[in-house]
Amino acid sequence: MVDSSKHTLLIVDDNPVNLQVIVDFLHSEGFRVLTARSGQSALERARYGQPDLILLDVQMPEMDGFETCRRLKSDPQTGAIPVIFMTALSETDYKIKGFEVGAVDYIIKPFQYAEVLARVTTHLRIYELTHNLEQLAERRTAELARSLERERHLAQELERALDKERELGRLKTQILDVVSHEFRTPLSVITQSSSILQNFYPRLTAEKRLRNFKRINEAVFAIDGLLSDVALINVRNNADINLKYASIQFTDLCQKLKSMLVTKVAESDRVRFMVEASDALLATDQDKVERILLQLVSNGLKFSEAPQIVDVELGISDDDHLVIQVSDSGIGIPENEQDKIFDLFYRAKNVGVRRGLGVGLHIVAQLVERLGGTVEAESTIGQGSTFSLRLPCEADI
């Protein structure tokens, strides 16, 4: 049943006596009632009062009921409100016209109160049900749109996962190709030198023995480097790189980096250190810094010729960043390739016979990004390259 106290009706009639009669009746039935005495004021009341139903007299001066109804229906703010026409018995021909302009029903004057009440409550109920249905349909449509969106999202994720999987498969094949090719050279050096040492040891001069041992040593370094690169290529995502921060004095860190280079780099006598005086305490992942520096220095040595020097400058910036510069006077990087050298497997056109996988700088870029720092290359072909590294390392004590 309709709860009349919850409904507002707008009654429109230019005749004050008629108006009063019907208003009194509907009031007594518990409805909230708004009134208007002309078509124009009916349009305004309807817009601001938002009644649930309008009872509209057909014959009114200036704007008649039909025109008022047409305007109510064409206004989006009032178009959905049901309109019931009030017609005199003699005007029943107007019924059709009333329906044509959008009315839902009519009541005939003089009023049969029971009929008025029945028609009003029926239309309120229909309106309420329609309104609820519309809301339900809206909710369902929104739910449907949401679940379609979810499905689209899932399909996209699946597509991305498949892309990743395909990319990984491609990468694996590429790694295997490059690695097996790159392993061959140092392995054959080891085979040759060790067989020379084994078969001709007594006849070799001390200098030749040393040269063969050195070649084996360098080949082992090369293989070691390749293996650690391969281990890092496997990192699919920066977040997979685990960080281990520890506090260390800047000077101690520089000392550690120096000793690391001496043990891990074959031509460490070509490396020159310049360390700024600072008693700063840093918080950083030392292994990662070592790995990055080792890569940049090895590249500097590889892409220059003995006895050219590779300079390593270490300092602390005003904004508490560890700043490392590695400069060489080697072959340089062609200008149009400088933005690609951090890409996986990218090797510039001028590398010649120098060996490499093209993964070292990619790993550097990944590690630096994970550490929240930056790395940049400046290079002039034929004159050399400088790699500048900035890593945030403020100790939180």
Kindly state the smallest distance separating residue 370's Cβ from ligand ADP, in Å.
Answer: 17
How far is 243 from 370, CA to CA, in rounded Å? Answer: 8
Kindly state the smallest distance separating residue 321's Cβ from ligand ADP, in Å.
Answer: 22
CA-atom Rg of the chain in angstroms: 44
Per rule CB under 6 A, is residue 178 in the interface with ligand ADP? no
Comparison of 120 and 341: residue with beta carbon closer to ligand ADP: 341
x/- binding map, residues 179-218, to ligand ADP, per CB under 6 A? ----------------------------------------
Q: In this chain, which of 54, 314, 359, 391 binds ligand ADP, going by CB under 6 A?
A: 359
Per rule CB under 6 A, is residue 68 in the interface with ligand ADP? no
Kindly state the smallest distance separating residue 331's Cβ from ligand ADP, in Å.
Answer: 5
Whole-angstrom CA distances from 22 to 35, 41, 56, 86, 94 are: 10, 18, 11, 11, 21
Alpha-carbon dihedral sign for residues 44, 45, 49, 55: negative
Q: In this chain, which of 32, 351, 374, 394 binds ligand ADP, going by CB under 6 A?
A: 351
Per rule CB under 6 A, is residue 51 in the interface with ligand ADP? no
Per rule CB under 6 A, is residue 357 in the interface with ligand ADP? yes
How far is 111 from 22, CA to CA, in rounded Å? Answer: 8
User: For residue 59, what are its two tokens?
Assistant: 């014959």
Helices 113-200 + 206-233 axis angle, to 10: 170
Per rule CB under 6 A, is residue 330 in the interface with ligand ADP? yes
Q: In this chain, which of 19, 282, 331, 391 binds ligand ADP, going by CB under 6 A?
A: 331
Stretch that binds ligand ADP, among 7-15, 115-123, 269-277, 340-348 (CB under 6 A): 340-348
- Which 378-397 residues touch ligand ADP, going by CB under 6 A? 385
β-bridge partners, 84: 55, 105
Stretch that binds ligand ADP, among 93-101, 135-143, 172-180, 328-336 (CB under 6 A): 328-336
Q: Are 365 and 375 in contact (CB under 8 A)?
A: yes
DSSP 3-state percent helix, strand, coil across the chain (nearest 5): 55, 20, 25
* Count of residues engaged in binding ligand ADP, rule: CB under 6 A: 21
- Which 301-320 residues touch ligand ADP, going by CB under 6 A? 303
Per rule CB under 6 A, is residue 358 in the interface with ligand ADP? yes
* Nearest residue to 249 (alpha-carbon basis) of 313, 312, 314, 294: 314
Sheet order of strands, 32-36 included: 32-36, 8-12, 53-57, 83-88, 105-109
Residues forming the site for ligand ADP (CB under 6 A):
299-300, 303, 328, 330-333, 341, 346-348, 351, 356-362, 385
